[in-house]
Amino acid sequence: MSVVSEFREFAIKGNVIDLAVGVIIGGAFGKIVDSLVKDIIMPVVSLFFGKIDFSNYFIVLGTIPSDYHGAQTPADLAKAGLPVFAYGNFITVAVNFLILAFIIFLMVRYINTLKRRVLAEQPPPAPAAPPEDVVLLREIRDALRK
């Protein structure tokens, strides 16, 4: 079997297509969660704890040159070639992950509940018909008993 035909067989399997769809939807879902954290959750957190913007929490590793006159943001300092320990960005990404994991947990839990409910409503499957040779042997047995 050639490499091309093996790859074609692999690519058209249902699991690969399902995985591709899942990755695309996951990427879009990640953007939704980023927006949820940045635009909805963080303003509420800021309301209770003050003006919290985790993205501005950073430590410059080293000294800032005296001739640097740019903005004091992690992105600008890193662009200037300074090593920046941006732990605030990590906190934001970790919060995003926790929210995303919790939402996925709720979705899987709901889907499992629906599956159990659907399975409970279905009648048990009818027993399979016995093979033809078993039916024939039973008929012979019953005829010999007479």
**In this structure, are residues 66 and 60 in contact, taking their beta carbons and an 8 Å threshold?**
no
With respect to CATH, is domain 3-126 assigned 3.30.470.30? no
Q: Which two tokens stand for residue 52?
A: 């919290």
SS3 content of the chain, % helix, strand, coil (to 5): 70, 5, 25
State pTM to two decimals. Answer: 0.54
Read off the tokens for 68: 């640097």
Return all residues near 78 (Cβ < 8 A) that are at least 6 apart. Answer: 84, 86
pLDDT tens string, the chain, 146 residues long: the values are 688 888 777 777 767 777 888 888 888 888 887 788 778 877 887 788 776 667 778 888 888 877 888 888 888 888 888 888 888 888 877 877 887 788 888 888 998 898 888 878 888 788 888 899 999 999 999 999 97
| pLDDT at site 53 | 66
